[in-house]
Structure 1
Amino acid sequence: MPTGGPSPPARPADSERAGGAAVKQPGRRATRTATRQSFRRARAERLAPYVLVAPAVLIIVALRLWPLALGVNFSFTGDGELNGTAVGLGNYLELAGDPLFRTSMRNVGLLVLLLPLAVAIPGLLATFIYLRVPGHRVYRSVYFFPAVLSPVIVGAIFNLMLGYDGPLNSVLAVIGAGPVDWLGDPGIAMFTVTGVHVWATFGMALVVFLAGFSTLDASLLDAARVDGASLGRTIWHVIIPSLTRTIQFVFVTTMIGMLTSMFGLLFVMTSGGPEGTTYLPEYYIWHQQGQLNRPALASAASTVLFVVMLVVGLLQITLIRRAGRQD
């Protein structure tokens, strides 16, 4: 056989294997690149919610939780000559022995008892508006209007209306009823101020209820009408179970408003009187801090108010959730 001739041409099988290896190598790199991109995309999607809520969390921590922690820490220090000195539970023991603070806490209990009524009023009005009673558009505007008024203006208006010689007592005199000292009688002054607060603020709760009605399944109301259900049964068995989350929100926000937004009315209408019977914790806190210059004692009262609001809010949510499950 000759030994010096040219090499034979490559066989088709060999060339195919070489080409296949050349094609396969870029395919693996493309696959690895796509995998890395997919992993990065998945990681970005997981991190996106945390990035979006981070500014709000930072604001809450900086403007809410951190001052709250400082206030709780300050409540264990003294006032006056003991300023900055640790006194343990001394401020809390003083609060327990202060008749004005005990009165303010009893009034908190009264507000909790009146809370269902304060929520039911805007809830019923929102129901009537949703059912399109005649003039419902006008009622919506009229009911919301007091919410835009300053508490000072509302207090001044009702001071004139509820005065001993005011228009309301004049109307009572016409029908033969004696005059009532709405703001000077220790037995009814707190009820009067609470009623004015409910009137001035239920417009916001009304808007929340109307927003909740927008998520209500109208077919349920139609089925109730076909079955001949009365308005009361429709509200109890259809509307309330369907608006459980809305009712939870309104309960909690109304309670917070009662405990933290009545200062203006109390200051203008009663100034804590008569005989301290209209004191609430926020008014007590202002009195200790602003009038008596006792910031540590005021911090202790603020801490107690925060704990009360937290406990009451959690209890309300728990009870409403249980009622919703039973329905």
Structure 2
Amino acid sequence: MFYPIGYAVWISFLKTDGVTSKFIGFKNYVDIFAAPLVHQVFVTNLKFLIAIPIVIFLGLFTSVLLYQEIWGWRFFRIIFFLPSVLSTSVIGLMFRSAFTLNGPINSALISLGLTPINFFARANMAIFVVILALIWAGFGYAMMILLSGLMSIDSDLFAAAEVDGAGWWQRFWYIIIPSIRQQLAFVSIINTLYTFTSLFGFIFVMTAGGPLYSTTTLDYLVYQKAFSAFDMGQGSALAIIIFGVISVLTIAQSKYLKNDDGR
């Protein structure tokens, strides 16, 4: 574990294409923080955070339905969770095929007398499709985490609240939400980390970072710098910066959950 991290740190201080190298100190880091493209890509990553509240809402909604054991709940539990076990590349291919110019989505638009949309040629539409893929891929995992929290709630709390005349919404807001706040926090932070570290498969397959870098994410930019531009030094420096951000968020998550558990 420590060797690859240490080696990446060392490379980040070099100007290297993988064959020749020269020590340049912190220049790679200075160049990255000063690069307008990196700023643009960071903002793009922030746009994908829009998916997180939707993932949490859908995960909470479906977990509550399954907790109440609606008809076919075992079947739906499997169906909802299934996207979470697929790789990002497979999901990316599915959405790429669905939203391509000759795909089923545009075929449906044409059948309704509407003009087909070239989703992947327009920045906002391309981001929209990637966000849809993120939501579809992530809400099943959120559902399972939240469902585990729901199943740990003492059923006597619901019985006592019902005896006291509490309605469904009152039980939801005053029993369910406080009881699963740790799971909600965990899902929020995990999805935030996922957005900054695991979009490569989606972007590589669906948009290749285009059009005009509008869907390029931080992890995809690492790939472009290291393996397309053959600038291993800047690619490693950017990867180390991302690793630092992830570490801070992970430590914050651990402390929050530990403090919350001690209340």
Please indicate the TM-score interval, normalised by the length of the shorter structure: 0.7 to 0.9
What does residue 157 of structure 1 align with?
94
1:170-249 alignment runs, 5 A limit? 170-175=107-112, 177-249=114-186
Instruction: Name the structure 1 match of 2:43.
Output: 106
For 2:205 and 2:84, the matched residues in 1 are separated by 17
2:81 counterpart of 1:144: yes
Contact 1:80 1:294 in 2 (8 A): yes
Helix, strand or coil at the partner of 1:132 = coil
Q: Which runs of 5+ in 2 are unaligned?
A: none
Shift of 1:272: 0.7
CA-to-aligned-CA distance 1:177-197 (integer Å, 9 cap, x gap): 543332221013123112202
Contact 1:285 1:298 in 2 (8 A): yes
2:243 to 286, 289, 306: 306
Out of 198, 206, 212, the residue aligned to residue 275 of structure 1 is 212
Q: Which amino acid is the alignment partner of residue 88 of structure 2?
A: P
Q: What's the counterpart of residue 92 of structure 1?
A: 29
Given residue 219 of structure 2, which amino acid in structure 1 is its aligned partner?
A: E
Q: CA deviation at 1:276?
A: 0.8
Q: Structure 1 residues 231 and 87 mapped into 2: Cα distance closer, same or farther (>3 Å)?
A: farther
Tell me how far 1:91 sits from its aligned partner: 0.8
Shift of 1:266: 0.9
TM (norm. structure 1) is: 0.70
Aligned to 2:191: 254
TM-score norm. by structure 2 comes to: 0.85
Q: Secondary structure at the match of 1:284?
A: helix
Equivalent residue, structure 1, for 2:233 = 296
Change (3 A) 1:112 1:312: farther
Q: Does 1:117 align with 2:54?
A: yes
Does the aligned pair in 1 maintain the 2:186–2:253 contact within 8 Å?
no
Query: Deviations 1:214-254 (Å, cap 9, x if unpaired)?
Result: 21122222334444545444333221211122222222222
C-alpha RMSD of matched pairs (Å): 3.0
The letter of the residue matching 1:115 is I
Instruction: Name the residue aligned to 1:25.
Output: none
Shift in Å, 1:74: 2.8
Cα deviation, residue 150, structure 1 = 3.0
The answer to whether the Cα contact below 8 Å between 1:244 and 1:324 also exists between their aligned partners in 2 is: no
Gaps spanning 5+ residues in structure 1: where? 1-62
After TM superposition, give the deviation of residue 173 of structure 1 in Å.
Answer: 4.2
Whether the 8 Å contact between 1:119 and 1:254 is mirrored in structure 2 is no
Matched to 1:143, the amino acid is: F
Give the drift of 1:142.
Answer: 0.8
Q: Give 2:207's aligned amino acid.
A: T
Instruction: State the shift of 1:307 in Å.
Output: 2.4
Q: Which moved more, 1:79-88 or 1:127-136?
A: 79-88
Aligned AA (2:212): E
1:36-93 CA-to-partner distances (Å, cap 9, x unmatched) read xxxxxxxxxxxxxxxxxxxxxxxxxxx1x44323323432222259955432321122
Q: In 2, distance between residues paired with 1:202 and 1:120?
A: 8
Amino acid at match of 1:93: V
Do the aligned partners of residues 87 and 304 (structure 1) sit closer, same or farther apart at CA in structure 2, a change above 3 Å counting?
A: same
Q: CA distance change for structure 1 residues 291 and 100 in 2, over 3 Å: closer, same or farther?
A: same
User: Who is 2:11 aligned against?
Assistant: 74
CA spacing shift, 1:214–1:86, aligned 2, 3 Å: same
Percent identity between the two aligned chains: 27
Partner residue, 1:43 = none
